Amino acid sequence: AVALEDQKFSLQEVLDTFKLCLSENKEVHLEQYVAGWRGLVRFMNSLGSVFSFISKDAVNKIQILVNHLNSETGAHYVTIQSMVRYELDNQLVDLTKRGSFPESGCRTLLRLHRALRWLELFLERLRTSTEDSKTSAMCSEAYNESLSQHHPWIIRKAAGTAFWALPGRAQFFDVMNVGVPDQVVAMLGDAMPLISEVYQVTEDLYAQNNLLELP
Ligand code: 1PW
Protein backbone atom coordinates (compact mmCIF):
# COMPACT_ATOMS: atom_id res chain seq x y z
CA ALA A 1 0.00 0.00 0.00
CA VAL A 2 1.10 3.54 -0.68
CA ALA A 3 1.75 5.46 2.54
CA LEU A 4 -0.78 8.20 3.07
CA GLU A 5 2.06 10.70 3.22
CA ASP A 6 3.12 9.85 -0.35
CA GLN A 7 -0.20 10.31 -2.09
CA LYS A 8 -0.64 13.03 -4.66
CA PHE A 9 -2.65 15.87 -3.29
CA SER A 10 -3.77 19.39 -3.89
CA LEU A 11 -3.29 22.09 -1.27
CA GLN A 12 -6.86 23.06 -2.05
CA GLU A 13 -8.10 19.79 -0.54
CA VAL A 14 -5.95 20.28 2.52
CA LEU A 15 -7.31 23.72 3.14
CA ASP A 16 -10.84 22.45 2.52
CA THR A 17 -10.35 19.93 5.33
CA PHE A 18 -9.56 22.77 7.71
CA LYS A 19 -12.73 24.46 6.55
CA LEU A 20 -14.69 21.30 7.46
CA CYS A 21 -13.36 21.20 11.00
CA LEU A 22 -15.28 24.28 12.12
CA SER A 23 -18.93 23.62 12.91
CA GLU A 24 -21.68 26.23 12.79
CA ASN A 25 -21.47 26.86 16.51
CA LYS A 26 -17.72 27.36 16.17
CA GLU A 27 -16.63 24.06 17.60
CA VAL A 28 -13.42 22.64 16.15
CA HIS A 29 -13.73 18.97 15.23
CA LEU A 30 -10.56 17.16 16.12
CA GLU A 31 -10.80 14.44 13.49
CA GLN A 32 -10.92 17.01 10.67
CA TYR A 33 -8.26 19.15 12.32
CA VAL A 34 -5.99 16.11 12.38
CA ALA A 35 -6.89 15.29 8.78
CA GLY A 36 -5.94 18.83 7.79
CA TRP A 37 -2.59 18.39 9.48
CA ARG A 38 -2.01 15.08 7.71
CA GLY A 39 -2.40 16.94 4.44
CA LEU A 40 0.03 19.64 5.54
CA VAL A 41 2.57 16.94 6.37
CA ARG A 42 2.19 15.51 2.85
CA PHE A 43 2.74 19.00 1.54
CA MET A 44 5.87 19.47 3.65
CA ASN A 45 7.24 16.11 2.59
CA SER A 46 6.84 17.00 -1.06
CA LEU A 47 8.99 20.08 -0.45
CA GLY A 48 12.02 17.88 0.06
CA SER A 49 13.72 15.76 2.66
CA VAL A 50 15.13 18.71 4.60
CA PHE A 51 11.62 19.32 5.77
CA SER A 52 11.21 15.84 7.12
CA PHE A 53 12.69 16.71 10.53
CA ILE A 54 10.02 19.35 10.77
CA SER A 55 7.21 17.09 9.65
CA LYS A 56 8.36 14.28 11.94
CA ASP A 57 7.35 16.14 15.05
CA ALA A 58 4.01 17.07 13.50
CA VAL A 59 3.48 13.37 12.68
CA ASN A 60 4.18 12.45 16.32
CA LYS A 61 1.74 15.04 17.57
CA ILE A 62 -0.92 13.95 15.10
CA GLN A 63 -0.51 10.34 16.26
CA ILE A 64 -0.93 11.30 19.92
CA LEU A 65 -4.22 13.01 19.10
CA VAL A 66 -5.39 10.06 16.98
CA ASN A 67 -4.61 7.76 19.91
CA HIS A 68 -6.83 9.88 22.15
CA LEU A 69 -9.59 9.79 19.54
CA ASN A 70 -9.34 5.99 19.31
CA SER A 71 -9.10 5.38 23.05
CA GLU A 72 -12.03 4.42 25.27
CA THR A 73 -12.33 8.08 26.26
CA GLY A 74 -12.41 9.08 22.57
CA ALA A 75 -15.94 10.46 22.85
CA HIS A 76 -14.53 13.35 24.91
CA TYR A 77 -12.15 14.21 22.08
CA VAL A 78 -14.69 14.88 19.34
CA THR A 79 -14.13 18.62 19.50
CA ILE A 80 -11.28 20.71 20.87
CA GLN A 81 -13.80 22.32 23.20
CA SER A 82 -14.90 18.98 24.68
CA MET A 83 -11.27 17.84 24.92
CA VAL A 84 -10.27 20.90 26.94
CA ARG A 85 -13.28 20.54 29.24
CA TYR A 86 -12.69 16.82 29.78
CA GLU A 87 -8.95 17.01 30.41
CA LEU A 88 -9.21 20.02 32.74
CA ASP A 89 -12.18 18.62 34.69
CA ASN A 90 -10.29 15.37 35.23
CA GLN A 91 -6.86 16.89 35.97
CA LEU A 92 -5.26 15.26 32.94
CA VAL A 93 -3.04 18.23 32.01
CA ASP A 94 0.31 19.36 33.40
CA LEU A 95 -0.40 23.05 33.92
CA THR A 96 2.84 24.52 35.23
CA LYS A 97 5.64 22.02 34.70
CA ARG A 98 6.09 18.80 32.79
CA GLY A 99 4.95 15.82 34.83
CA SER A 100 2.56 12.90 34.57
CA PHE A 101 0.79 13.96 31.37
CA PRO A 102 3.39 14.60 28.66
CA GLU A 103 0.84 13.49 26.05
CA SER A 104 -2.21 15.44 27.13
CA GLY A 105 -4.43 16.44 24.22
CA CYS A 106 -4.25 20.06 25.39
CA ARG A 107 -0.45 20.43 25.31
CA THR A 108 -0.11 18.35 22.15
CA LEU A 109 -2.67 20.34 20.21
CA LEU A 110 -1.13 23.60 21.44
CA ARG A 111 2.06 22.71 19.53
CA LEU A 112 0.15 22.17 16.29
CA HIS A 113 -1.88 25.28 16.96
CA ARG A 114 1.28 27.40 17.25
CA ALA A 115 2.59 25.86 14.04
CA LEU A 116 -0.70 26.71 12.32
CA ARG A 117 0.00 30.39 13.04
CA TRP A 118 3.29 30.02 11.25
CA LEU A 119 1.52 28.47 8.31
CA GLU A 120 -1.05 31.24 8.28
CA LEU A 121 1.63 33.96 8.23
CA PHE A 122 3.64 32.12 5.63
CA LEU A 123 0.76 31.44 3.22
CA GLU A 124 -0.37 35.04 3.55
CA ARG A 125 3.11 36.19 2.52
CA LEU A 126 3.07 33.73 -0.34
CA ARG A 127 -0.33 34.99 -1.46
CA THR A 128 0.80 38.62 -1.64
CA SER A 129 4.29 37.84 -2.98
CA THR A 130 5.69 38.76 -6.38
CA GLU A 131 7.56 36.60 -8.85
CA ASP A 132 10.96 37.52 -7.48
CA SER A 133 10.05 36.93 -3.82
CA LYS A 134 12.15 34.38 -1.95
CA THR A 135 10.22 31.55 -0.28
CA SER A 136 13.04 31.03 2.23
CA ALA A 137 12.79 34.67 3.36
CA MET A 138 8.98 34.53 3.58
CA CYS A 139 9.16 31.29 5.52
CA SER A 140 11.72 32.48 8.03
CA GLU A 141 10.00 35.84 8.56
CA ALA A 142 6.75 34.02 9.32
CA TYR A 143 8.64 31.67 11.62
CA ASN A 144 10.43 34.47 13.48
CA GLU A 145 7.10 36.21 14.10
CA SER A 146 5.45 33.13 15.54
CA LEU A 147 6.64 29.62 16.29
CA SER A 148 10.30 30.51 16.86
CA GLN A 149 9.36 32.27 20.09
CA HIS A 150 8.45 28.88 21.52
CA HIS A 151 11.53 27.05 20.29
CA PRO A 152 14.96 26.72 21.88
CA TRP A 153 17.99 27.96 19.99
CA ILE A 154 18.96 24.58 18.56
CA ILE A 155 15.56 24.07 16.90
CA ARG A 156 15.52 27.64 15.57
CA LYS A 157 18.92 26.97 14.05
CA ALA A 158 17.81 23.72 12.41
CA ALA A 159 14.59 25.27 11.12
CA GLY A 160 16.51 28.19 9.63
CA THR A 161 18.77 25.75 7.81
CA ALA A 162 15.78 23.85 6.41
CA PHE A 163 14.22 27.07 5.10
CA TRP A 164 17.29 27.78 3.00
CA ALA A 165 16.65 24.57 1.10
CA LEU A 166 13.04 25.45 0.24
CA PRO A 167 12.21 25.37 -3.46
CA GLY A 168 11.64 28.69 -5.17
CA ARG A 169 8.24 30.32 -5.54
CA ALA A 170 7.45 28.82 -8.95
CA GLN A 171 8.23 25.27 -7.87
CA PHE A 172 6.37 25.85 -4.62
CA PHE A 173 3.24 26.84 -6.50
CA ASP A 174 3.71 23.77 -8.65
CA VAL A 175 3.92 21.44 -5.65
CA MET A 176 0.68 22.91 -4.33
CA ASN A 177 -0.94 21.39 -7.39
CA VAL A 178 -3.68 23.99 -7.64
CA GLY A 179 -3.02 25.48 -11.08
CA VAL A 180 -1.28 28.51 -12.52
CA PRO A 181 0.01 31.12 -10.02
CA ASP A 182 -3.13 33.26 -10.37
CA GLN A 183 -5.23 30.27 -9.34
CA VAL A 184 -2.98 29.61 -6.35
CA VAL A 185 -3.34 33.22 -5.26
CA ALA A 186 -7.13 33.05 -5.64
CA MET A 187 -7.30 29.75 -3.74
CA LEU A 188 -5.22 31.18 -0.92
CA GLY A 189 -7.46 34.25 -0.83
CA ASP A 190 -10.45 31.96 -0.25
CA ALA A 191 -8.75 29.65 2.20
CA MET A 192 -6.88 32.09 4.42
CA PRO A 193 -9.91 33.50 6.26
CA LEU A 194 -10.96 29.93 7.17
CA ILE A 195 -7.55 28.96 8.49
CA SER A 196 -7.48 32.23 10.42
CA GLU A 197 -10.86 31.49 11.93
CA VAL A 198 -9.88 27.99 13.06
CA TYR A 199 -6.74 29.49 14.54
CA GLN A 200 -8.63 32.28 16.31
CA VAL A 201 -11.33 30.05 17.78
CA THR A 202 -8.65 27.75 19.21
CA GLU A 203 -6.58 30.70 20.45
CA ASP A 204 -9.59 32.21 22.26
CA LEU A 205 -10.49 28.87 23.84
CA TYR A 206 -6.93 28.36 25.09
CA ALA A 207 -6.71 31.96 26.34
CA GLN A 208 -9.99 31.68 28.25
CA ASN A 209 -8.73 28.55 29.96
CA ASN A 210 -5.23 29.86 30.59
CA LEU A 211 -3.63 27.15 28.48
CA LEU A 212 -1.43 29.16 26.13
CA GLU A 213 1.80 28.41 28.01
CA LEU A 214 1.32 24.70 28.73
CA PRO A 215 4.70 23.04 29.34
C1 1PW B 1 5.99 25.02 4.74
C2 1PW B 1 4.81 24.81 5.63
C3 1PW B 1 5.17 24.44 7.03
C4 1PW B 1 4.02 24.45 8.00
C5 1PW B 1 4.02 23.42 9.08
C6 1PW B 1 4.85 23.71 10.28
C7 1PW B 1 5.16 22.53 11.14
C8 1PW B 1 6.08 22.97 12.22
C9 1PW B 1 6.82 21.92 12.96
C10 1PW B 1 8.10 22.49 13.54
C11 1PW B 1 8.82 21.43 14.28
C12 1PW B 1 10.28 21.70 14.54
C13 1PW B 1 10.91 20.58 15.33
C14 1PW B 1 10.15 20.16 16.54
C15 1PW B 1 10.06 20.90 17.65
C16 1PW B 1 9.29 20.51 18.89
O17 1PW B 1 10.17 20.58 19.98
C18 1PW B 1 8.14 21.48 19.08
N19 1PW B 1 7.08 21.15 18.16
C20 1PW B 1 6.44 22.08 17.42
C21 1PW B 1 5.38 21.60 16.47
O22 1PW B 1 6.67 23.25 17.49
C23 1PW B 1 7.61 21.52 20.49
O24 1PW B 1 7.07 20.28 20.86
P25 1PW B 1 7.52 19.66 22.29
O26 1PW B 1 9.02 19.47 22.26
O27 1PW B 1 7.12 20.66 23.35
O28 1PW B 1 6.77 18.36 22.42
Calpha distance 129→53 (Å, rounded): 26
Burial (CB < 10 A; 0-12, 13-18, 19+), residue 149, is exposed
- Closest Cα to atom 17 of ligand 1: 151
Q: How far is the CA of 140 from the centre of ligand 1 (A)?
A: 14
* CATH architecture for segment(s) 8-208: Orthogonal Bundle (1.10)
- Which residues line ligand 1 at a C-beta cut-off of 6 Å? 40, 44, 54, 57-58, 111, 114-115, 118-119, 122, 147, 155, 159
Residue boundaries of the structural domains of the chain: 8-208
Supply the pLDDT for residue 52: 79
> Which residue out of 37, 114, 155, 161 has the highest number of ligand 1 atoms within 8 Å of its CB and is therefore the one to mutate?
155
Q: What is the pLDDT of residue 49?
A: 74
Length of the chain as a residue count: 215
Distance CA 120, CA 117 (A): 5
Give pLDDT tens digits along the chain (215 positions). 445 555 566 788 888 888 899 999 999 999 999 999 998 888 888 877 767 777 899 999 999 999 999 999 999 999 999 999 999 999 999 999 999 999 999 999 999 999 999 999 999 999 999 999 999 999 999 999 999 999 999 999 999 988 988 889 998 888 888 889 999 999 899 888 989 999 999 999 999 999 999 99
Q: Where are the alpha helices (DSSP H) in the chain?
A: 11-20, 30-45, 52-70, 80-89, 105-127, 135-145, 153-164, 169-176, 181-208
Cβ pair 28, 21 in contact under 8 A: yes
Q: How far is CA 199 from its chain centroid?
A: 9
Task: Give pTM, 2 decimals.
Answer: 0.92
Is the predicted ipTM greater than 0.95, yes or no?
Answer: no
Give the atom of ligand 1 at the shortest distance from the alpha carbon of 150: 22
- Let me know: does 22 contact 199? Beta carbons within 8 Å: no
